[in-house]
Amino acid sequence: MHPLLTSRARLGAYLLGWAPIAALLTGIARSQDWSWAEAAALALPLCFFAALLFLSTWFLCRALPLGRTLEGLGAHGAAWGMAAVLMGGLWSGLAWLLSRLLAWIPGLGALPQRVGTALPVLTGLGVLLYLASVALSYLMLAQERAIEAERKGAELQLLAQESELKALRAQLNPHFLFNSLNSLSALTAVDPARAREMCVLLSDFLRRSLGLGERRLVALREELDLAKAYLAIEQIRFGARLQLAWAVDPAAEPALLPTLLLQPLVENAIKHGIAALPEGGTLSLSAEVQEGHVIVKVENPMDADVPAPKGLGIGLRQVRQRLLGRFGNRARFEAGALDGIHRITLVFPLETEP
């Protein structure tokens, strides 16, 4: 179906665009000593017929898409020219027929003679209008292709995000699982009660992570609950070596963010920070709202003898890409180390469930 026929607004705008052409045709007729009644009686219905007749250019343009070379333009030129001459002649023929019908109206009896004299001019004008319609059709086709390309791009981006989430669900840090199972095995012999507690915590963590992984966006509250479940297991492993400092503004908890966004940050803080220090340290996590934005910070001590990384690891790069992919330039991701403290800062707009 022609795109102009899919919407009343589009069709109305298209027909309204012929009003200046009707005014121009009326002016040309007046310059040839036609009366206002003769000029308007012919120009208005004739332009309406042209608007409907020249819709056919869409189908010709679809059948003859523009190429990227001049050879393609030359190959289509003959078809455009023949169609323009044919439609211009048909349009002038309609003008002649219309003049015959209008001649029965008092005051318009001279219209057939005037139209007969003007037939070459009307034919030429019809050719020009048809070629203009061809140009308009190619513009609409280009717009349609651009919209289709944008839609496919959005679909591919969505598929990429879904694949990324599946990968995140599948790659729950294997080292964490291995270490947890080893700790669980050791605890069963020396402290069965803590081993049972660790089993429950590990089960709860896996259930939460799999549940969140099925959704694209989750509330910060749910991400924090998952982080708490993870850290509860790690506290059993590390004991007094792992301390937590939690400061979360309740106003930030409903904020929406991509699912499993915080988990890699917490895992990174344990694996590359606290686990590498014999004395352990404190993992700090804070969230607050400032001027319509949520600010999340994850801090952990690091070995001062280890040189600061010169770039982001794979996990942090994924977090940055997913954050900016969701919020664009409205979000900010910062990571760096200073005075033995590694800090990651996420800033994103406060958006909640409707």
Alpha-carbon torsion angle 123, 127, 129, 130, nearest 10: 130
- Residue 70's pLDDT is 47
- Residue 160's pLDDT is 66
- Residue 60's pLDDT is 79
Closest CA to 26 of 90, 106, 18, 131: 18
d(C-alpha 160, C-alpha 287), whole Å: 29
- Reported as a single tens digit per residue, the pLDDT across 108-164 is 888 888 888 888 888 888 888 888 888 888 888 888 888 888 888 777 766 666 666
**DSSP class of 103:** T
- Residue 346's pLDDT is 95
- Reported as a single tens digit per residue, the pLDDT across 168-190 is 555 555 655 666 677 777 777 77
d(C-alpha 111, C-alpha 133), whole Å: 28
Domain with CATH 3.30.565.10 in the chain: 171-349
- Residue 284's pLDDT is 95
Q: Class of 171-349 per CATH?
A: alpha beta
Q: How much is the pTM? A: 0.53
- Residue 214's pLDDT is 64
d(C-alpha 117, C-alpha 134), whole Å: 28
- Residue 295's pLDDT is 95
Q: Which residues of the chain fall below pLDDT 50?
A: 69-70
Answer whether 294's CB lies under 8 Å from 350's CB: yes
3-class DSSP assignment, residue 339: coil
What distance lies between CA 118 and its chain's CA centroid? 53
254: Cβ contacts below 8 Å, ≥ 6 apart: 219, 220, 221, 352, 353
Answer whether 302's CB lies under 8 Å from 341's CB: yes
22: Cβ contacts below 8 Å, ≥ 6 apart: 43, 44, 46, 47
